[in-house]
């Protein structure tokens, strides 16, 4: 009997199906392995290509550093100006990390090329360093000879050649990688069909991920709603009034505190300008201009704070403080304003100020009488006191003076904070003021066994300030330094110019400022907590007054540690641009010279160089020079700068020759040019001539002119 076909085909179909499934599974496995290998190879190729690109970038950066350094050093050699050394100094710092990176990227065989490149780099920078040292040592000729020898160019050519060899090797490697990548790409194209199966699998995975993403989005939306509810609760529950403003300053939303504070409902305020709540009305343009200066809230608080007079719905007014900040993206700015009723705070401040002022003034009169009476007793007005009585009177008198100082300091600090302290600003020279203040404190220093020394430059340093207030600042600093200096040490008072400012420094050899006290040393009633400090007395207001007075005259105050122990307390003030020609009496027997230069630092340095040889009348402009010539008939010589802003110092020479044909004239200028028609007796270039040479040349001409024609 024949076997039924259905029965015969059954096992065969099952076998084919199983074989097909097995082939599909094997095919998927093969595709998986091929794709994995392909991605691994692609990753390796990408990493190698990135390494090559990085190496070439390092090589290019290294070459640029050396070129910039060479250019900077040449500029320094030619001009002597330190600002040309920036690229050279930068190359010295950045070079080593580049070599480290290059060594990390190179194979063992290529490391010798990197070592050779570094040796050339070391030689190149050493050659540049030698040029810099020669220039700084005043030996420009040595630097120029070294540049002219071509050694630097030879080293630079060697660096370029070595960089080119390394770069060529990297280019060849990159081309090899590109060829390998192309071969791999063709292999990948043959298996694109198999990857379609993977895409189907990815679609399934994408469906799963999409479902998960929807779940996460729903969770994020819930978190956003909860955050918005929290912000709404904070906005509505704030004790301060809160306003949300649009970009034009119109009210979008107001919290209940605003309604309680001003008596308007949120609906009444919506759409109104933020100026609507102010007693003083401002225009829309003024509001926009004010909002344009508002910044974002940050770690330091709100973007802008200001006090203003608010007006309630019933017309009554009250004092407020607003803190307003900007938020949102550029072009869609919004503002949030927090308004606080400060009526009670202002009333408390006024009561405090009135109390301090009243008590201080009421205490001054009886304390003056007490102090005067004690002084009379100590002076023997009622007869000679016995030792015990005299000691008690001295104690009472010292404490009375301490109370008077406290009251005076309290009144001063209150005047400063309330803006009632007036300043009699005038032009003044700091030297005589410093000397007067130091002399006034010499007895105090002598009583404590402390020396008091002054070091001032021979030229005047003039500022625009209130002499009484500056003397008050200096007295506070000097008396503090004396109090905190050990017996046998000295307090040193000096000045230093820094650009357009003059710094007055009071240096002591005390115990210094404790670390925990440094942040609040210039605060009111600030005193170090050590028993040694408190035993020396003081109100804790002196340094606060020092900083406030200095600040209100355009200056600043501070302190720093002194080398070798002690402290340096200082205050700075802006120097007057036009320094008056003031000749100290003790220098009147020296030859009088006129120096014309628009650089204040140059005037000061040159005057210092001539100290003891001649007295310089410093002029910062042509007008000052002409005034000095008219007011000082005894001028024996002139030092003139050519470039005077829009003027030329050469224009002054004909006037000098017309007034005194034999008057020596020296051009001391930064312009390295010939001036055959200028009529000067000598031409010296600032970058090439030392100050000693300037002094000797000028004094030789002055001496020869004094002897007359031979």
DSSP character string of 514-533: -GGGGGGTTSTT----SHHH
Domain presence at residue 579: no
pLDDT reading at 372 higher than 80:
no
For Cα atoms 603, 466, 414, give the angle at the middle one, nearest 5 degrees.
Answer: 140
Domain containing residue 132: CATH number: 1.20.120.1730
Q: 95 and 151, same structural domain?
A: yes
Q: What is the DSSP string of 189-229?
A: HTTHHHHHHHHHHHHHHHHHHHHHHHHHHHHHHHHHHHHHH
For 359, the enclosing helix (H) or strand (E) is helix 343-378
Give the CB-side neighbour count of residue 703, counting CA atoms within 13 A.
8
Q: 170 and 33, same structural domain?
A: yes
Domain presence at residue 194: no
For 118, the enclosing helix (H) or strand (E) is helix 111-136
Q: For residue 302, what pLDDT is reported? A: 57
Q: 380 and 297, same structural domain?
A: no
DSSP state letter for 685? E
171-192 confidence digits (pLDDT tens): 777 677 667 766 766 766 666 5
Please state, in angstroms and rounded to a whole number, the distance separating the CA atoms of residues 71 and 65: 10
Please state, in angstroms and rounded to a whole number, the distance separating the CA atoms of residues 570 and 561: 11
**Residues linked to residue 640 through DSSP beta bridges, in sequence order:** 596, 667
pLDDT reading at 528 higher than 60:
no
Domain presence at residue 499: yes
Q: Which 3-state string (H, E, C) describes 148-184?
A: HCCHHHHHHHHHHHHHHHHHHHHHHHHHHHHHHHHHH
Q: For residue 548, what pLDDT is reported? A: 82
Q: For residue 639, what pLDDT is reported? A: 93
Domain presence at residue 199: no
Tokens of 25: 């599974």
Helix axes 151-189, 111-136, angle to 10 degrees: 150
579 three-class SS: coil
288-340 confidence digits (pLDDT tens): 777 777 777 655 555 667 788 888 888 888 888 888 888 877 667 788 888 88
622-675 confidence digits (pLDDT tens): 888 888 887 777 788 999 998 887 888 888 888 888 888 888 999 888 877 777
The mean per-residue pLDDT over the stretch 114-138 comes to: 81
Tokens of 633: 């008939």
Residue 53: band (very low, low, confident or very high) from pLDDT cuts 50, 70, 90: confident
Tokens of 528: 């170090």
Q: Which residues, including other chains, have CB under 8 Å from residue 300's CB and lie 6 or more apart?
A: none
Please state, in angstroms and rounded to a whole number, the distance separating the CA atoms of residues 98 and 442: 61
Domain containing residue 638: CATH number: 3.40.50.2300
Q: For residue 458, what pLDDT is reported? A: 66
Please state, in angstroms and rounded to a whole number, the distance separating the CA atoms of residues 547 and 560: 15
The mean per-residue pLDDT over the stretch 478-499 comes to: 88
Regarding beta strands 317-327 and 334-341, do their DSSP bridges make them parallel or antiparallel, or are they unpaired? antiparallel
163-173 confidence digits (pLDDT tens): 788 777 777 77
Q: For residue 205, what pLDDT is reported? A: 66
The mean per-residue pLDDT over the stretch 23-50 comes to: 65
Average pLDDT score over the chain = 76
Domain containing residue 320: CATH number: 3.30.450.20
Instruction: Tell me which of 301, 323, 341 is where a domain ends.
Output: 341
Residue 534: band (very low, low, confident or very high) from pLDDT cuts 50, 70, 90: very low
Question: Which of 125-129, 480-484, 651-655 shows the lowest per-residue confidence on average (mean pLDDT)?
Answer: 125-129
Phi then psi dihedrals of residue 483, to 5 deg:
-60, -35
Please state, in angstroms and rounded to a whole number, the distance separating the CA atoms of residues 326 and 141: 61
Q: 568 and 681, same structural domain?
A: no
Q: 34 and 182, same structural domain?
A: yes
Q: For residue 492, what pLDDT is reported? A: 93
Instruction: Tell me which of 519, 554, 574 is where a domain ends.
Output: 574
Q: 446 and 382, same structural domain?
A: no
Asked whether 301 and 314 are in contact (CB, 8 A), the reply is no
Q: Which residues, including other chains, have CB under 8 Å from residue 685's CB and lie 6 or more apart?
A: 669, 670, 671, 672
Domain containing residue 484: CATH number: 3.30.565.10
Asked whether 557 and 547 are in contact (CB, 8 A), the reply is yes
649-659 confidence digits (pLDDT tens): 888 888 888 88
Q: Which residue has the tokens 């029965």?
A: 7
Domain presence at residue 276: yes
Give the CB-side neighbour count of residue 399, counting CA atoms within 13 A.
7
383 three-class SS: strand
Question: Which of 8-12, 617-621, 686-690 shows the lowest per-residue confidence on average (mean pLDDT)?
Answer: 8-12
Domain span holding position 315: 238-341
Question: Which of 81-85, 250-254, 269-273, 533-537 shows the lowest per-residue confidence on average (mean pLDDT)?
Answer: 533-537
Domain presence at residue 9: no
More confidently predicted of 393 and 36 = 393
The mean per-residue pLDDT over the stretch 142-160 comes to: 80
Q: For residue 531, what pLDDT is reported? A: 45
The mean per-residue pLDDT over the stretch 510-516 comes to: 78
Tokens of 278: 């102010």
Asked whether 639 and 698 are in contact (CB, 8 A), the reply is yes
Q: 533 and 511, same structural domain?
A: yes
Residue 3: band (very low, low, confident or very high) from pLDDT cuts 50, 70, 90: very low
Asked whether 242 and 257 are in contact (CB, 8 A), the reply is yes
Q: For residue 698, what pLDDT is reported? A: 92
Question: Which of 269-278, 585-594, 697-706 shows the lowest per-residue confidence on average (mean pLDDT)?
Answer: 585-594
Please state, in angstroms and rounded to a whole number, the distance separating the CA atoms of residues 428 and 434: 11
Q: Which residues, including other chains, have CB under 8 Å from residue 538's CB and lie 6 or more apart?
A: 480, 483, 527
Please state, in angstroms and rounded to a whole number, the distance separating the CA atoms of residues 411 and 388: 35
Q: 168 and 99, same structural domain?
A: yes
Q: How far is CA 445 from CA 451, 530, 679, 693, in A?
A: 6, 22, 56, 43
Q: For residue 527, what pLDDT is reported? A: 57
Please state, in angstroms and rounded to a whole number, the distance separating the CA atoms of residues 620 and 597: 5
Asked whether 629 and 637 are in contact (CB, 8 A), the reply is no
396-440 confidence digits (pLDDT tens): 877 777 677 677 766 666 666 666 667 778 888 888 888 888 888
Domain presence at residue 476: yes
Q: For residue 505, what pLDDT is reported? A: 93
Q: For residue 13, what pLDDT is reported? A: 41
Residue 119: band (very low, low, confident or very high) from pLDDT cuts 50, 70, 90: confident
Please state, in angstroms and rounded to a whole number, the distance separating the CA atoms of residues 196 and 658: 101
540-584 confidence digits (pLDDT tens): 567 788 888 888 888 888 888 888 888 899 999 988 765 544 444
Please state, in angstroms and rounded to a whole number, the distance separating the CA atoms of residues 684 and 668: 5
Q: For residue 424, what pLDDT is reported? A: 77
Q: 570 and 441, same structural domain?
A: yes
Q: For residue 491, what pLDDT is reported? A: 93
Q: 432 and 330, same structural domain?
A: no
214-265 confidence digits (pLDDT tens): 788 888 888 878 776 776 777 676 778 888 888 787 888 888 888 888 888 8
Instruction: Tell me which of 418, 440, 460 is where a domain ends.
Output: 418
**Residues linked to residue 306 through DSSP beta bridges, in sequence order:** 322
Question: Which of 253-262, 346-355, 698-707 shows the lowest per-residue confidence on average (mean pLDDT)?
Answer: 346-355
417 three-class SS: helix
Q: For residue 206, what pLDDT is reported? A: 64
Domain presence at residue 279: yes
Q: For residue 343, what pLDDT is reported? A: 83
For 343, the enclosing helix (H) or strand (E) is helix 343-378
The mean per-residue pLDDT over the stretch 329-352 comes to: 79
Could you tell me what percent of the chain has a pLDDT over 70? Answer: 76
Q: 516 and 443, same structural domain?
A: yes
Please state, in angstroms and rounded to a whole number, the distance separating the CA atoms of residues 602 and 599: 5
Q: For residue 263, what pLDDT is reported? A: 86
Please state, in angstroms and rounded to a whole number, the distance separating the CA atoms of residues 72 and 132: 10
Could you tell me what percent of the chain has a pLDDT over 90? Answer: 4
The mean per-residue pLDDT over the stretch 2-6 comes to: 41
672-686 confidence digits (pLDDT tens): 777 777 788 888 888
Q: For residue 359, what pLDDT is reported? A: 64
Q: How far is CA 702 from CA 1, 265, 537, 694, in A?
A: 148, 87, 57, 12
Please state, in angstroms and rounded to a whole number, the distance separating the CA atoms of residues 617 and 595: 6
What's the structural domain count of the chain?
Answer: 5
Per DSSP, helices labelled H in 238-330 are 256-262, 266-269, 284-292
Q: 324 and 265, same structural domain?
A: yes
Residue 451: band (very low, low, confident or very high) from pLDDT cuts 50, 70, 90: very high
Longest CA–CA span in the chain (Å) reads 163
Question: Which of 337-346, 381-390, 409-418 shows the lowest per-residue confidence on average (mean pLDDT)?
Answer: 409-418
- What's the start-to-end Cα distance of the chain, in Å? 158
Q: For residue 2, what pLDDT is reported? A: 40
Q: Which residue has the tokens 């989005």?
A: 217
């Amino acid at each position: 009997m024949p076997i039924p076909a259905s029965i015969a085909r059954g096992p065969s179909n099952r076998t084919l199906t199983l074989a097909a499934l097995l082939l599909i599974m094997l095919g998927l496995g093969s595709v998986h392995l091929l794709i994995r290998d392909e991605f691994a190879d692609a990753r390796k190729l990408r990493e190698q290509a990135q390494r090559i690109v990085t190496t070439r970038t390092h090589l290019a950066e290294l070459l640029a550093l050396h070129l910039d350094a060479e250019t900077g050093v040449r500029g320094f050699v030619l001009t002597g100006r330190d600002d040309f050394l920036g690229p050279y100094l930068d190359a010295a710092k950045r070079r080593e990390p580049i070599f480290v990176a290059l060594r990390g990227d190179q194979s063992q065989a290529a490391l010798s090329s990197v070592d050779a490149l570094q040796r050339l780099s070391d030689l190149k920078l050493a050659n540049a360093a030698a040029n810099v040292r020669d220039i700084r040592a005043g030996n420009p000729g040595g630097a120029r000879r070294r540049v002219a020898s071509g050694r630097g160019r030879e080293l630079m050519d060697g660096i370029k050649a070595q960089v080119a060899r390394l770069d060529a090797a990297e280019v060849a490697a990159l081309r090899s990688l590109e060829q390998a990548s192309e071969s791999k790409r063709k292999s990948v194209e043959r298996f694109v069909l198999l990857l379609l199966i993977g895409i189907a699998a990815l679609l399934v995975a994408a469906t799963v991920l999409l479902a998960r993403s929807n779940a996460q989005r729903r969770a994020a939306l819930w978190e956003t709603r909860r955050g918005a509810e929290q912000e709404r609760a904070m906005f509505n529950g704030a004790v301060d009034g809160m306003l949300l403003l649009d970009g034009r300053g119109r009210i979008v939303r107001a919290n209940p505190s605003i309604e309680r504070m001003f008596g308007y409902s949120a609906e009444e305020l919506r759409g109104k300008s933020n100026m609507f709540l102010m007693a003083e009305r401002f225009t829309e343009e003024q509001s926009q201009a004010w909002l344009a200066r508002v910044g974002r809230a940050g770690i330091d608080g709100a973007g802008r704070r200001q006090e203003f007079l608010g007006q309630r719905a019933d017309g009554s007014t009250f004092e407020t403080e607003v803190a307003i900040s900007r938020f949102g993206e550029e072009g869609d700015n919004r503002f949030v304003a927090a308004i606080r009723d400060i009526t009670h705070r202002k009333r408390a401040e006024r009561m405090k100020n009135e109390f301090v002022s009243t008590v201080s003034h009421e205490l001054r009169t009886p304390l003056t009488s007490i102090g005067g009476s004690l002084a009379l007793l100590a002076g023997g007005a009622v007869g000679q006191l016995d030792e015990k009585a005299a000691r008690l009177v001295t104690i009472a008198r010292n404490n009375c003076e301490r109370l008077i100082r406290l009251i005076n300091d309290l009144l001063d600090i209150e005047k400063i904070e309330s803006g009632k302290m007036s300043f009699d600003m005038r032009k003044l020279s700091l030297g005589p003021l410093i000397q007067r203040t130091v002399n006034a404190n010499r007895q105090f220093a002598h009583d404590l066994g402390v020396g008091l020394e002054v070091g001032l430059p021979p030229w005047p340093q003039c500022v625009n300030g209130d002499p009484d207030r500056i003397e008050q600042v200096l007295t506070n600093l000097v008396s503090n330094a004396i109090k905190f200096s050990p017996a046998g040490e000295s307090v040193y008072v000096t000045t230093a110019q820094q650009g357009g400012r003059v710094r007055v420094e009071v240096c002591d050899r005390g115990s210094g400022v404790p670390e925990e006290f440094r942040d609040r040393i210039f605060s009111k009633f600030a005193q170090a907590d050590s028993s040694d400090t408190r035993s020396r007395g003081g109100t804790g207001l002196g340094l606060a007054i020092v900083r406030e007075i200095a600040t209100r005259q355009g200056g600043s105050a501070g302190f720093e540690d002194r080398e070798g122990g002690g402290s340096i307390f200082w205050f700075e003030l802006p120097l007057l641009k036009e320094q008056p020609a003031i000749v100290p009496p003790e220098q009147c027997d020296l030859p009088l010279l006129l120096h014309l230069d628009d650089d204040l630092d140059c005037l000061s340095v040159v005057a210092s160089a001539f100290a003891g040889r001649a007295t310089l009348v410093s002029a910062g402009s042509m007008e000052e020079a002409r005034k000095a010539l008219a007011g000082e008939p005894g001028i024996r010589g002139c030092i003139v700068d050519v470039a005077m802003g829009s003027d030329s110092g050469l224009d002054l020479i004909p006037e000098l020759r017309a007034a005194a044909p034999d008057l020596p004239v020296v051009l001391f200028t930064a312009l390295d040019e010939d001036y055959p028609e200028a009529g000067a007796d000598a031409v010296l270039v600032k970058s090439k001539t030392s100050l000693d040479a300037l002094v000797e040349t000028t004094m030789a001409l002055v001496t020869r002119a004094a002897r007359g024609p031979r």
